[in-house]
Amino acid sequence: MADVISNEDGQMMLLTGLLVVIGVVIYTALLNDIILTANMPSTGVDISKQDIKDLRSLTESDIKKAAYYSNTNLSMSENEKNNYFLTYINSYNNTIQKMYSARGASVDVVLNNVTLNRATTNITIKYYDGKVGYDDTFIVYYP
């Protein structure tokens, strides 16, 4: 009878089995969370919408800034003002393309019709990040 009480082999098997079951439950829960998070349909869309809003507002403000700087220098001729404006916007476009390409998005800012005398510029913004495509033409008014 004393031999049955001192034999602990069955208790070790039960403890090992309990640890294996707990490990499997934790592994299944983590795997389920990873799969669920990776397959969320709105994961990239919300970020893209914010990127598009930021891109549009940044483009509008930089076009206004370029027009202001090109029109404030009175010693420049009209041709020099136009060249300064176009150089500024081309530099902005190159910077934006590099910045968004680091995130995996393709961006292009196109000047359609530049009229510095009438204080308007027609702009086309093209954005594509692999999931969301955006193409918009709008007019920027500046003083």
Q: What is the pLDDT of residues 2-41, one digit of tens each?
A: 565 666 667 888 889 999 999 999 999 998 888 877 666 5
Domains of the chain: which residue ranges? 2-38, 46-141
pLDDT at 61 > cutoff 80: yes
pLDDT at 43 > cutoff 70: no
Is 135 within 8 Å of 125 (Cβ atoms)?
Answer: yes
Render pLDDT for 119-139 as a digit per residue (tens, 0 to 9). Answer: 667 778 888 877 778 888 877
What's the rounded mean pLDDT across residues 85-105?
87
> Which run of H or of E encompasses 113?
strand 106-115
Can you tell me whether residue 127 is helix, strand or coil? strand
What is the rounded CA–CA span in Å between residue 127 and residue 137?
Answer: 12
Decide: residue 86, CB within 10 A, 0-12 exposed, 13-18 middle, 19+ buried: middle
């509008």: which residue's tokens?
60
